């Protein structure tokens, strides 16, 4: 029986409601701490690669050199898309939203799985590698298709991040650019029980297949309250235009209760550690491009926001400076969220696989607010 509204309280949006145990990612929002399997995100960003990060999340430990080499070879071997999927994607309208394309492509991959009825752990590990490897290929292929260009085939001699940029632009990136992209993927790879991870778990908990669970994650990440915030940051920077306009814009926004995009977080009440890392790359990229305008606007916004509302625990989150980074990498704005998905698929998969170790279908309750009893009125009398 559903609980009565007068008898219980509830956590809207499941805020602070514990829904699972996990060993994968830990966040201390009061001090701005994020760790993957106990390793601080700052260390991962400094020393690791996305391939190593994906292995860590999925296997519960850092790989040996041999394990990492083998895992990387598996990813490389699975980068190419099936011809059936490529031909299907060519039928999509060029005006299609890239996240819609990614969602549909992932769902289609489920129909192209060579062993769809095999739900063993071994097969799901193969599916995991296939999905992680093919997300960048899907995004880059459609980005070119919508311009009337042929997709660029993946290169086996490039790392995960560098190969994505190569497939997107048709030329291999320099070492620094590839490293920036790699770090961006590391920073976005997982973030505990966020909306898209939880949504993936809900689907996975029914013992549906991996593709369905990950398709759910993509669909959830698409929402502007989750994955699309860095696109909104870019739009805000464009609207502000100059450093001189930044403080008046922020003060007016606070006065009229207009949200400043890229600030505040449901979990963090301190500076998002990922934002600190993105900020330094945004600074260096801006210097290298000899274009400091957006970065200086961003710093001014940050200064005013911390002065005005920092005492409330509102600080920059991961989206604030990542938009500037992607802008200087030359990435189209509507690909920012798909890039988020390229990274986060590793986290979704790790959480789904972990949850399946001790699975229980999600079946929450709701508070009924309708009438307790009402007569049926025949249609001719309504």
Q: Express each pLDDT in 2-43 by its tens digit.
A: 556 566 778 888 888 899 999 999 999 999 999 999 999 999
Strands 33-36 and 39-40: antiparallel
Active-site option among 190, 209, 319, 351: 319
Task: Examine the pLDDT at 1 and tell me if it is beyond 70.
Answer: no
Task: Examine the pLDDT at 129 and tell me if it is beyond 90.
Answer: yes
Q: How much of the chain, in percent, has pLDDT values that exceed 90?
A: 90
Query: For the chain, which residues make up each domain, given as ranges?
Result: 24-175+190-223+348-356, 229-328
Task: Examine the pLDDT at 152 and tell me if it is beyond 80.
Answer: yes
Can 190 be counted among the known catalytic residues?
A: no
CATH top class, domain 229-328: mainly alpha
Long-range Cβ contacts of 121-126 (<8 Å, 24+ apart):
121/353, 124/210, 124/353, 124/356, 125/58, 125/353
Lowest model confidence (mean pLDDT) among 138-142, 266-270, 273-277? 266-270
CA gap 280, 328 in Å, rounded? 13
Query: What average pLDDT does this structure show over 284-300?
Result: 97
**Residue 205 pLDDT:** 98
**Residue 6 pLDDT:** 60
Q: Mean of the per-residue pLDDT values for the chain? A: 95
**Residue 71 pLDDT:** 98
pLDDT in tens, 81-124: 999 999 999 999 999 999 999 999 999 999 999 999 999 999 99
Query: What average pLDDT does this structure show over 204-219?
Result: 98
**Residue 4 pLDDT:** 60
Query: What average pLDDT does this structure show over 368-372?
Result: 88
Buried b (16+ CB within 10 A) or exposed e, 78-110: bbebeeebbeebeeeeeeeebbebbbbbbbbbb
Long-range Cβ contacts of 80-83 (<8 Å, 24+ apart):
80/137, 80/153, 80/154, 81/134, 81/137, 81/138, 81/141, 82/109, 82/112
**Residue 3 pLDDT:** 58
Active-site option among 160, 188, 191, 265: 265
Can 226 be counted among the known catalytic residues?
A: yes
pLDDT in tens, 41-77: 999 999 999 999 999 999 999 999 999 999 999 999 9
Q: Same fold for the domain at 24-175+190-223+348-356 and the one at 229-328? A: no
Task: Examine the pLDDT at 184 and tell me if it is beyond 70.
Answer: yes
Q: How confident is the model at residue 134 (pLDDT cuts 50, 70, 90)?
A: very high
**Residue 2 pLDDT:** 57
Query: What average pLDDT does this structure show over 278-307?
Result: 97
Rounded to the nearest 5 percent, the helix, strand and coil shares of the chain are 60, 5, 35
Can 47 be counted among the known catalytic residues?
A: no
Q: Is 345 in contact with 302 (CB distance < 8 Å)?
A: no
Q: What CATH superfamily classification does 24-175+190-223+348-356 receive?
A: Citrate Synthase, domain 1 (1.10.580.10)
């Amino acid at each position: 029986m559903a609980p009565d509204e007068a008898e219980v309280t509830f956590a809207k949006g499941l805020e602070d409601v514990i829904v699972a145990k996990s060993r994968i990612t830990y966040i201390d929002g009061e001090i701005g701490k994020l760790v993957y399997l106990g390793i601080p995100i700052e260390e991962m960003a400094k020393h690791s690669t996305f391939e190593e990060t994906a292995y860590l999340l999925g296997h519960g430990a850092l790989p040996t050199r041999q394990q990492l080499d083998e895992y990387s070879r598996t990813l490389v071997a699975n980068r190419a898309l099936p011809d059936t999927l490529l031909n299907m994607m060519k039928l999509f309208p060029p005006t299609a939203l890239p996240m819609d394309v990614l969602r549909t492509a992932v769902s289609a991959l489920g129909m192209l799985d060579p062993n769809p009825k095999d739900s063993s752990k071994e097969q799901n590990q193969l599916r995991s590698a296939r999905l992680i490897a093919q997300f960048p290929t899907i995004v880059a292929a459609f980005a070119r298709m919508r311009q009337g260009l042929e997709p660029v085939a993946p290169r086996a001699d490039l790392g995960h991040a560098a190969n994505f940029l190569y497939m997107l632009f048709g030329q291999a990136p320099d070492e620094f650019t590839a490293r920036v992209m790699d770090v961006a993927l590391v920073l976005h790879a997982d973030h505990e029980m966020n909306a898209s991870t939880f949504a993936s778990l809900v689907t996975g908990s029914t013992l549906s297949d991996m593709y369905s669970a990950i398709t759910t994650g993509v669909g959830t990440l698409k929402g502007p309250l989750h994955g699309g915030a860095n696109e909104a940051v870019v739009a805000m920077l464009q609207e502000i235009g100059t450093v001189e306009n930044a403080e008046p814009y922020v003060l007016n926004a606070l006065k009229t209760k207009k949200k400043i995009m890229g600030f505040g977080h449901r979990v963090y009440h301190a500076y998002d550690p990922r934002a600190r890392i993105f900020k330094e790359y945004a600074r260096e990229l801006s210097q290298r491009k000899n274009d400091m305008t957006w970065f200086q606007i961003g710093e001014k916004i940050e200064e005013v926001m911390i002065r005005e509302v920092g005492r409330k625990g509102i600080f920059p989150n991961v989206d604030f400076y990542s938009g500037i980074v992607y802008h200087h990498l030359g990435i189209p704005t509507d690909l920012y969220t798909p890039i988020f998905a390229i990274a986060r698929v590793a986290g979704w998969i790790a959480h789904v696989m972990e949850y399946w170790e001790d699975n229980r279908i999600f079946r929450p309750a709701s508070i009924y607010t309708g009438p307790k009893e009402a007569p049926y009125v025949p249609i001719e009398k309504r």
